A and B are shown apart, each in its own frame.
Chain A
């Protein structure tokens, strides 16, 4: 009797152990998605409004600006570089659109194109500096972060440049089938980013350059070109984000986009990218962006004071990253 009993408990223990093991391995495999789901569950239970279509559309609109920057940042980090200038580029491009279209009365589309081209040129300059003079991109973009922010202030004279363009307001604030237009733009950019990083030759080259520049060069990959393209892409997307943000605010502010680079980097790293390069996924970044967006949104819904918000957001990012590392080891 007692014997068989013991066997029974042993068996049960074993089964428990097994299911616990499969459960943890499931957790580890989908760590960030899981983190996102848990946060969503908690918020659904704590706020009636959280799980509504309106709120989700809202979240998507809120994350679209950071999201687009983060897509560009995913490419940058995958090549083992960093771009700290994106927040300032957001401000500069909004400022350019504002000043050109309102103050100087230029056609809005032309203003937007000029702002986008400026973003590309900024990225290209940063890339050239970093690649040709062999200066770490951390330093180059730290310096350009200040310079570009300063130029944004100079362009606007220190005040937000109001934007009267109806087109930009529709892009920034309007909705199509209940989904914010800026969110739709983010989704399109994310799909393109996914294709180019995870399915195309360009993406393989980006990851190869990030993993080992010398091997990449010896394999015949045009390393310099790839690096320049990636920095330009980051500048372009940051500039696009700046335009959307200006549309959302109805003005191009030189203060816009402050610290956005850090949110973007956090999202990319949450998505499983390696800061030392060679590893990065747009799909991961999207989840990272959503985690940050959902935390911001949820804490607002729960009326948490903005001081606590910062603390909680930081801790959640740390926890998610800890999980990520745990999985790798």
Chain B
């Protein structure tokens, strides 16, 4: 491989309000290299990338692109320097077409028809946009990422995977030679991930360098050439994938060996004979078919399958968020047909959805109010309906839970938006644990959560089940299902394809059953 440096970050330091976020971090990226940047939430990855993208400026240090020192002052400048980014939360406009999105702010106007240059100067703002040219240029870039969709398609009609590719194509249309991909696979299905990786490999042979930010070890080892680990704002190491392994990387990230991630100290997995939930022949046309399963008290049942296989929809049905055509749900030996989530919650069911920001948290509220929202009934003063909330009691319960769940917050009145992803996720779980539920439905309980918070969340799930709680856990991370669940069912295209005890199952075998 050619060993020309596409990018060098030298001695980068950055503090926010005397709070040191980066300390003398070095990072170098070769031309055509796919380079993983890993670390906990708060390790400094995103700050480092924001410096590269011109969102923040560094306090000290240099940025060199193609061996030339540059001083990236703002995002437009980063674009001119050939740095493009695909953010975790995609920045596309759903009501515009792919082509309009791609050339937003630098439309081809009728005047520039002859030339291939785009016009972004403000004085051209009233000129007619040349749609033919926009669409044909867009097509070229879509071809580069192997996306066979019309440039005239509205973005809202695209799958998450396709949107991801559109963002990459957009970066390429800006002539980016360095692409930053921030957790690009977190909402992609397995096939979409495969496609993305093919494109990444292809781009790397074209000389595009890629910085790949991810929490998923298997993906990093599959696609990347090199791994750089940050911890607490410091560079820990930069190693080639051939010279390291998964456990070593996790150890570098956490500062301690990873072996106690899944604590399998469960008393006896099938100790209880009481059935908490039994689902018989559940059908929902076009979504899932003939779903049968049973979960016992104190059991953790893992449900795994591809995105879109119907996993989330099954949980939503049990929780009353989604209707079903026919079949029966038996909960605590009673026929159960929740019309809305309110009824499910009253019956002791809690649901941690996969999207904590949109379907879990109240971002304008503080930690305390986010947790207590599920059990305000218990906090009311004497007069049931018109009584106020007993603030003392509320504070006490919240403080107990913050301690118990090890939620890192300065105080219970801190806004949840100021917390890291892992702590936010713990809050969503805390609101059900503090309420005291019987059955906990978990949908991707560790999405976008760093390794150490993951381990803590697994511990919470297991403690809950050891205390007699029942868990239904949907996850696409196979090692998570294998490590945490007592029993696993696999789902493919809305149908159950198998049921297993994790002990005698490997990830490969599991993979065969869901693809």
With known contacts A201-B376, A201-B377, A201-B380, A215–B362 Cβ distance under 8 A: yes
Determine whether B412 belongs to the interface, using a CB cutoff of 8 Å to chain A.
no
With known contacts A220-B345, A222-B340, A278–B380 Cβ distance under 8 A: no
Q: Give Cα A211 to B357, complex, Å.
A: 11
Indicate which residue in B321, B369, B388 contacts A217 across the interface (CB closer than 8 Å): B321
Q: Cβ of A221 and Cβ of B373 under 8 Å apart?
A: yes
Q: Cβ of B364 and Cβ of A279 under 8 Å apart?
A: yes
Q: Cβ of B321 and Cβ of A218 under 8 Å apart?
A: yes
Determine whether A219 belongs to the interface, using a CB cutoff of 8 Å to chain B.
yes
Residues in chain B near residue A222, CB distance under 8 A: 340, 342
What 0/1 readout, one digit per residue, does chain B (367-388) give for beta carbons within 8 Å of chain A?
0010011101101100000111
Considering only CB atoms, which chain B residue lies closest to A202 in the complex?
B385
Residues in chain A near residue B386, CB distance under 8 A: 195-196, 200
Q: Give Cα A195 to B380, complex, Å.
A: 13
Considering only CB atoms, which chain A residue lies closest to B387 in the complex?
A200
Q: Cβ of B389 and Cβ of A220 under 8 Å apart?
A: no
Q: Cβ of B342 and Cβ of A218 under 8 Å apart?
A: no
Considering only CB atoms, which chain B residue lies closest to A279 in the complex?
B364
Q: Cβ of A204 and Cβ of B373 under 8 Å apart?
A: yes
Q: Cβ of A219 and Cβ of B373 under 8 Å apart?
A: yes
What 0/1 readout, one digit per residue, does chain A (255-276) give for beta carbons within 8 Å of chain B?
0000000000000000000100
B298-353 at interface with A (beta carbon < 8 Å)? 319, 321, 340-342, 344-346, 351, 353
Indicate which residue in A196, A199, A220 contacts B344 across the interface (CB closer than 8 Å): A220
Q: Give Cα A200 to B358, complex, Å.
A: 25
What 0/1 readout, one digit per residue, does chain A (196-214) give for beta carbons within 8 Å of chain B?
1001110011011001101
Residues in chain B near residue A205, CB distance under 8 A: 376
Residues in chain A near residue B70, CB distance under 8 A: none
Identify the interface centre among B359, B362, B372, B389: most chain A CB within 10 Å of its CB. B362
- Nearest CB in chain A: distance from B324 CB, A: 18
Q: Give Cα A274 to B379, complex, Å.
A: 27
A-B contact count (CB 8 A): 75
Q: Cβ of A199 and Cβ of B388 under 8 Å apart?
A: yes
Q: Give Cα A195 to B372, complex, Å.
A: 18
Indicate which residue in A195, A204, A279 contacts B369 across the interface (CB closer than 8 Å): A204
Q: Cβ of A211 and Cβ of B364 under 8 Å apart?
A: yes
Determine whether B279 belongs to the interface, using a CB cutoff of 8 Å to chain A.
no
Determine whether B61 belongs to the interface, using a CB cutoff of 8 Å to chain A.
no
A220-247 at interface with B (beta carbon < 8 Å)? 220-222
Considering only CB atoms, which chain B residue lies closest to A196 in the complex?
B386
Residues in chain B near residue A199, CB distance under 8 A: 388-389
Q: Cβ of A219 and Cβ of B431 under 8 Å apart?
A: yes
Q: Cβ of B361 and Cβ of A212 under 8 Å apart?
A: yes
Q: Cβ of B362 and Cβ of A212 under 8 Å apart?
A: yes
Classify chain A: how many residues form its interface, as a range.
Answer: 20 to 34
Residues in chain B near residue A204, CB distance under 8 A: 369, 372-373, 376, 389
Determine whether B365 belongs to the interface, using a CB cutoff of 8 Å to chain A.
yes
Residues in chain A near residue B75, CB distance under 8 A: none
- Nearest CB in chain B: distance from A81 CB, A: 16
- Nearest CB in chain A: distance from B18 CB, A: 18
- Nearest CB in chain B: distance from A74 CB, A: 16
With known contacts A214-B359, A218-B360, A219-B431, A208–B365 Cβ distance under 8 A: yes
Residues in chain B near residue A211, CB distance under 8 A: 362-365
Q: Cβ of A218 and Cβ of B373 under 8 Å apart?
A: no
Q: Cβ of A215 and Cβ of B376 under 8 Å apart?
A: no
Considering only CB atoms, which chain A residue lies closest to B386 in the complex?
A200
Residues in chain A near residue B353, CB distance under 8 A: 218
Residues in chain B near residue A218, CB distance under 8 A: 319, 321, 341, 351, 353, 359-360
- Nearest CB in chain A: distance from B415 CB, A: 12
Q: Give Cα A222 to B374, complex, Å.
A: 12
With known contacts A199-B388, A220-B342, A279-B364, A215–B377 Cβ distance under 8 A: no
Residues in chain B near residue A216, CB distance under 8 A: 362, 373
Residues in chain B near residue A196, CB distance under 8 A: 386
Q: Give Cα A211 to B373, complex, Å.
A: 13
Q: Cβ of A208 and Cβ of B373 under 8 Å apart?
A: yes
Q: Give Cα A278 to B365, complex, Å.
A: 8
With known contacts A201-B377, A220-B341, A220-B345, A215–B361 Cβ distance under 8 A: yes
- Nearest CB in chain B: distance from A314 CB, A: 28
Considering only CB atoms, which chain A residue lies closest to B361 in the complex?
A215
With known contacts A201-B376, A201-B380, A208–B362 Cβ distance under 8 A: yes
What 0/1 readout, one digit per residue, does chain B (84-109) give for beta carbons within 8 Å of chain A?
00000000000000000000000000
Q: Give Cα A215 to B362, complex, Å.
A: 7
What 0/1 readout, one digit per residue, does chain A (105-139) give for beta carbons within 8 Å of chain B?
00000000000000000000000000000000000
Residues in chain A near residue B374, CB distance under 8 A: 219-220
Considering only CB atoms, which chain B residue lies closest to A274 in the complex?
B364
Q: Give Cα A212 to B372, complex, Å.
A: 16
Considering only CB atoms, which chain B residue lies closest to A198 in the complex?
B388
B368-424 at interface with A (beta carbon < 8 Å)? 369, 372-374, 376-377, 379-380, 386-389
Residues in chain B near residue A195, CB distance under 8 A: 386, 388
- Nearest CB in chain B: distance from A79 CB, A: 13
Residues in chain B near residue A278, CB distance under 8 A: 362, 364-365
Identify the interface centre among A196, A204, A216: most chain B CB within 10 Å of its CB. A204
Closest 8 CB pairs of A and B: A220-B345, A199-B388, A278-B364, A201-B376, A211-B362, A214-B359, A211-B364, A222-B342
- 4 more A-B contacts (CB under 8 A) besides A201-B389, A204-B373? A207-B365, A211-B365, A218-B351, A278-B364
Can you list 27 A-B contacts (CB < 8 A)? A195-B386, A199-B388, A199-B389, A200-B380, A200-B386, A200-B387, A204-B372, A204-B376, A205-B376, A207-B364, A211-B364, A212-B362, A214-B358, A216-B373, A217-B340, A218-B319, A218-B359, A219-B341, A219-B345, A219-B373, A219-B374, A220-B342, A220-B345, A221-B342, A221-B373, A278-B364, A278-B365
